[in-house]
Amino acid sequence: MTDQNPLLPNAKTVRRHQPKLRDTTITLAHGSGGKAMRDLINDIFVSNFDNPMLSPLEDQARLNLKELITQGDKLAFTTDSYVVDPLFFPGSDIGELAVNGTVNDLAVSGAKPLYLTCSVILEEGLAVESLQRVAQSMKTAAAAAGVKIVTGDTKVVNRGGADKLFINTTGIGVIPKGVSISADNLQLGDTVIINGNLGDHGAAILIARGELALSTEIRSDCQPLNNLVETILNVCPQIHAMRDATRGGVATVLNEFAQSSEVGIRLYEQSIPVREEVQGICEILGLDPLYLANEGKLVVVVPRSQTESVLSAMKSHPAGRDACILGEVIASPPGVVLMQTAFGSERIVDMLVSEQLPRIC
């Protein structure tokens, strides 16, 4: 018997990927642990996510520690759950959101994201076609971010026990030696930078729900940020703080920074980048774009001396072409974010008190 050609798929993989799922909607049998569940997993998840660590279909992924150690000296580990409504919205969907959101949570620590898990809770009656679309989006997003989905879990609940589909993802990455990014690192004089317009994701979800008689071309800004972070680190390894501005928006992130470092932050109202359409929606509904959710924006705090090099590097990257300076770190009042208005006065920008828009991610 000759050896298997390494360029051809393994015979077990071929058999596993032969489509067997015939149902058009999810039933309780798909969570039973039997043949229906195995067919669902093979046809939806294995066919899209297949890689050497996933293909054995064990109850765990087995990672090579030696390979991880060669890439850094600290492990970054995060988890998140996604319950966005609707599942599909302009510019993205729950699958891409789950991958990019977890990748970005790793990236803003300075880590190189490597591996993800994917656990899904399915409601009885969910269209199999919708689940397939979500899995395909996750496949595409993982490839774009350079990560592998290596293990997961599937559960099915009774009709009415959930809302179509919930996803939980966990991510593992490695932080290179010498990188130390933290909310308590801010120094007086530091510059606060954002990589683009605020509020696109929150506005896109709001419109997609169809509860308002508004028509707009706003699309979610959902995107992976790990490559942008790598670009920034190449020119400024001394990044003081960095975080993606998701729920609670930029205002909440900056308040967390100010409180952790016991410093003040001054923003410049005229420098806040917001699309005209998003600003219009905010004015109609009485919302503030500083609190709207984003899924492709990060706040970076860097030493003043590195401002121009970081800004230039960000603008050279597709995910940062609209980067701009938001403000600066000041001594007082400590733990407070101030907004310098166009009229020269100042007002406090507090942390978000209540939920502007639930189930945003």
Determine how β-strand 337-340 pairs with β-strand 264-268. parallel
Using one digit for the tens of pLDDT, what is the confidence trace for 228-246? 999 999 999 999 999 999 9
pLDDT of 4 strictly over 70: no
Residue showing tokens 């828009």: 357
Q: Which amino acid belongs to residue 118?
A: C
Please say whether the beta carbons of 173 and 192 come within 8 A. Answer: no
**Domain annotation covers residue 4:** no
Using one digit for the tens of pLDDT, what is the confidence trace for 30-82? 999 999 999 999 999 999 999 999 989 999 999 999 999 999 999 999 999 99
Q: What pLDDT does 11 receive?
A: 44
Q: Which two tokens stand for residue 334?
A: 């400590």
Q: Of 175, 206, 241, which residue sits at a domain end?
A: 175
- Percent of the chain at pLDDT above 70? 95
Q: What pLDDT does 354 receive?
A: 75
Q: What pLDDT does 2 receive?
A: 39
Which residue in 75, 80, 65, 60 sits closest to 150, CA to CA?
60
Name 6's Cβ contacts closer than 8 Å, sequence gap at least 6.
none
**Domain annotation covers residue 68:** yes
Burial 60-75 (b: 16+ CB within 10 A, else e): ebeeeeeeeeeebeee
Q: Which two tokens stand for residue 115?
A: 């591996």
**Domain annotation covers residue 108:** yes
Which residue in 280, 117, 315, 296 sits closest to 221, CA to CA?
296
Q: Do 279 and 225 fall within a single domain? A: yes
- Local confidence band at 329 (pLDDT 50, 70, 90 cut-offs): very high
Using one digit for the tens of pLDDT, what is the confidence trace for 184-193? 999 999 999 9
Q: What pLDDT does 107 receive?
A: 98
**Domain annotation covers residue 6:** no
Count of beta carbons in the 10 Å neighbourhood of residue 95? 28
Q: Do 325 and 256 fall within a single domain? A: yes
Strand (E) positions, 215-304? 241-244, 264-268, 298-302
Q: What pLDDT does 94 receive?
A: 98
Q: Do 243 and 206 fall within a single domain? A: yes
Q: What pLDDT does 193 receive?
A: 98
CA distance 69 to 87: 37
Q: What pLDDT does 212 receive?
A: 77
CA distance 277 to 206: 13
Q: Of 141, 175, 209, which residue sits at a domain end?
A: 175
Task: Write down the mean pLDDT value for the chain.
Answer: 93
Residue 160 Cα distances to 36, 126, 156, angstroms: 21, 11, 11
**Domain annotation covers residue 29:** yes
**Domain annotation covers residue 200:** yes
Please say whether the beta carbons of 358 and 264 come within 8 A. Answer: no
CA distance 95 to 142: 10
Higher pLDDT: 319 or 358? It is 319
Q: Do 127 and 203 fall within a single domain? A: no
pTM of the predicted model as reported, rounded to 2 decimal places: 0.93
CA distance 219 to 318: 16
User: How many angstroms from the chain centroid is the CA of residue 153?
Assistant: 20
Higher pLDDT: 15 or 208? It is 208
**Domain annotation covers residue 184:** no
- Local confidence band at 19 (pLDDT 50, 70, 90 cut-offs): confident
Q: Do 308 and 246 fall within a single domain? A: yes
Which residue in 221, 239, 193 sits closest to 319, CA to CA?
221
**Domain with 160 in it:** 11-175
Ramachandran quadrant class, 61 (left: phi over 0; alpha: psi -120 to 50; beta: rest) = beta
Q: Of 149, 175, 201, which residue sits at a domain end?
A: 175
Peptide bond into 86 cis (omega under 30): yes
How many folded domains does the chain comprise?
A: 2
Q: What pLDDT does 12 receive?
A: 53
Q: Do 171 and 201 fall within a single domain? A: no
* 9-23, 76-90, 216-230, 312-326, range with the lowest pLDDT: 9-23
Q: Do 149 and 24 fall within a single domain? A: yes
Write the CATH number for 340.
Answer: 3.90.650.10
Q: Do 333 and 198 fall within a single domain? A: yes
Residue showing tokens 């679309």: 133
3-state DSSP call for residue 21?
coil
Q: Do 166 and 231 fall within a single domain? A: no
- Percent of the chain at pLDDT above 90? 88
Write the CATH number for 119.
Answer: 3.30.1330.10
Q: Do 229 and 81 fall within a single domain? A: no
- Local confidence band at 14 (pLDDT 50, 70, 90 cut-offs): very low
Please say whether the beta carbons of 216 and 308 come within 8 A. Answer: no
**Domain annotation covers residue 199:** yes
Q: Do 131 and 204 fall within a single domain? A: no
Ramachandran quadrant class, 121 (left: phi over 0; alpha: psi -120 to 50; beta: rest) = beta
pLDDT of 247 strictly over 50: yes
Degrees, nearest 5: CA angle 140-39-113: 30
Q: Do 195 and 155 fall within a single domain? A: no
